[in-house]
Amino acid sequence: IYKNRRQHQRRPPSPPGLPIIGNLHQIGELPHQSLWRLSKKYGPVMLLKLGKVPTVIVSSSETARQALKIHDLHCCSRPSSAGPRDLSYNYLDIAFSPYDDYWKEVRKLAVQELFSTKQVHSIQPIKEEEVKKLIASIAESASLKTPVNLNKTFLALTVSVICRAGFGVSFEGTVLNSDNFNKLVREALEMLGSFPASDFIPYVGWIIDWFTGLQGRREKSVQDLDAFYEQMIDLHKQEKRQGSEDFVDLLLKLEKEEAVIGNDKLTRNHIKAILMNVLLAGIDTSAITMTWAMAELARNPRVMKKVQSEIRNHMGNRSTITLDDTDQFHYLKMVIKETWRLHPTTPILLPREVMSEFEINGYTIPVKTRVHVNVWAIGRDPETWKDPEVFLPERFIDSDIDAKGQHFELLPFGGGRRICPGIYMGTTMVEFGLANMLYHFDWDLPEGMVVGDIDIEEAPGLTVNKKNELLLVPVKY
């Protein structure tokens, strides 16, 4: 009977692989791009063997709907993997925890306490203050006519907002200067997004990781982050802060009360793992989106002018943009969606693991298979998008497609049970940051540069940033 059943199962098409490593060598530095190219040949449901691990890559909106909606419950766990394991203190976080009671409870706690609409509104004054500081510093560059590095600028903004809002401490005065902090975040994201040989090749994989230096980098990344959390928690304990309880307060209180989440007593490691998610999921994604948006606007002066006119006409003589204002910036929202279509921050989402067998397009996907949804490929699929390579926010006029996980053409936050719980916080950050940059300044190219010089090369990692710095010269409006 077993043999019969197997004979009836259809496996998805696979590119030929090598002995032992399978298709591992075909992943490359930017997996979303190599997988996109392979999917053009092997189709929207493709099976790779990464060493010993069967991995299905889903690359169309219809197959993404099947995986994330119809079969969500069959494949919403996370696989074990060395990078996430070490950085999450053995899966004590939200993003990399397997699908179990602990994950359900910790996610619920985070959604209620940190990522709620109420919380987003309560941190608006912090955002306003940090944006004001930023405008002042950019105005200085404007008066000197010097270019601003927008990758760094946006990261500095989200770092200060998240650190103040999430941890109640301002970033200044911690162990790291902002350059080192940025390096720490990038390195950690690269460790989370890497495909270490030890995940895929039994017994000897770790030797390869040791040899290539990946293991050493990972250990250092864990140590550096740990020191950062320790310092943040210490600062927190010393400081006499006013105002409402923040996330660290709440977690420390739960630790003291010996609270139980899932089957575990909450320990210091749980706290650090959760902070890791807030740091790595909350800061980088919003900053990257703003950088890509500005890069595309600089490459498309018509769109830049149009979005600035929308904001300036709406604002009249008022100078402070509010959350209610950003709600009215419909063209800006289309610009952001178009940015997410071409530059989703997490292009192959986080890996999922199959918990019970199911089928996509008639292909059987067995238990323990890894599943990646290539949202980057979906954003460039000519079956879904007309002229996909063109940056055209107008394509969203008269379209009901939003980015909230119900439209499988556009999945910057993923979908299903594992959808990003920070959608509202992330979206409002991006809208608010961009609206201010576009309202208060015009942006010229540095001397000697032409529009065609602005590239869209990508840097590797779990989240994909613009590789080369985006330098633009601000002119005060």
Specify binding-site residues: 420
The region of 79-87, 127-135, 240-248, 274-282 touching ligand HEM under the rule CB under 6 A is 274-282
User: CB of residue 286 vs ligand HEM: minimum separation in angstroms?
Assistant: 4
Closer Cβ to ligand HEM, 276 or 307, answer by number: 276
Residue from 420, 434, 470, 473 touching ligand HEM (CB under 6 A): that is 420
CA-CA distances (angstroms) from residue 261 to 180, 265, 272, 281?
34, 6, 15, 21
End-to-end CA distance of the chain, in Å? 75
Is 321 an interacting residue with respect to ligand HEM (CB under 6 A)? no
Is 426 an interacting residue with respect to ligand HEM (CB under 6 A)? yes
CA torsion through residues 322, 324, 325, 326, sign: positive
User: CB of residue 154 vs ligand HEM: minimum separation in angstroms?
Assistant: 11
Integer Cα distance of 40 and 57 in angstroms: 12
Is 89 an interacting residue with respect to ligand HEM (CB under 6 A)? no
Is 414 an interacting residue with respect to ligand HEM (CB under 6 A)? yes
User: CB of residue 186 vs ligand HEM: minimum separation in angstroms?
Assistant: 16
Please provide residue 170's backbone torsions phi and psi, each rounded to the nearest 5 degrees.
Answer: -85, 155
Instruction: State the number of binding residues for ligand HEM (CB under 6 A).
Output: 26
The region of 42-50, 179-187, 247-255, 407-415 touching ligand HEM under the rule CB under 6 A is 407-415
Residue from 221, 291, 308, 346 touching ligand HEM (CB under 6 A): that is 346
User: CB of residue 99 vs ligand HEM: minimum separation in angstroms?
Assistant: 9
User: How many other C-beta atoms are found inside a 10 Å radius of the C-beta of residue 244?
Assistant: 9
Is 51 an interacting residue with respect to ligand HEM (CB under 6 A)? no
- Please compute Rg for the chain using Cα positions: 23
Residue from 84, 147, 168, 422 touching ligand HEM (CB under 6 A): that is 422
CA torsion through residues 132, 134, 137, 143, sign: negative
Q: How far is CA 113 from the centre of its chain?
A: 20
- Using the 8-state DSSP alphabet, how is residue 82 labeled? H
User: CB of residue 144 vs ligand HEM: minimum separation in angstroms?
Assistant: 31
Is 350 an interacting residue with respect to ligand HEM (CB under 6 A)? yes
Nearest one of 427, 437, 438 to 120, comparing CA atoms? 427
Element (H, E) at 441: strand 441-444
Residue from 107, 164, 333, 466 touching ligand HEM (CB under 6 A): that is 107
Integer Cα distance of 217 and 349 in angstroms: 23
Using a 10 angstrom Cβ sphere, with 0-12 exposed, 13-18 middle and 19 or more buried, the burial of residue 379 is: buried
Asked whether 14 and 55 are in contact (CB, 8 A), the reply is no
Closer Cβ to ligand HEM, 24 or 279, answer by number: 279
Closer Cβ to ligand HEM, 66 or 285, answer by number: 285
Where does this chain bind ligand HEM (CB under 6 A)? 94-95, 107, 115, 277-278, 281-282, 285-286, 289, 345-346, 349-350, 412-414, 418-422, 425-426, 430
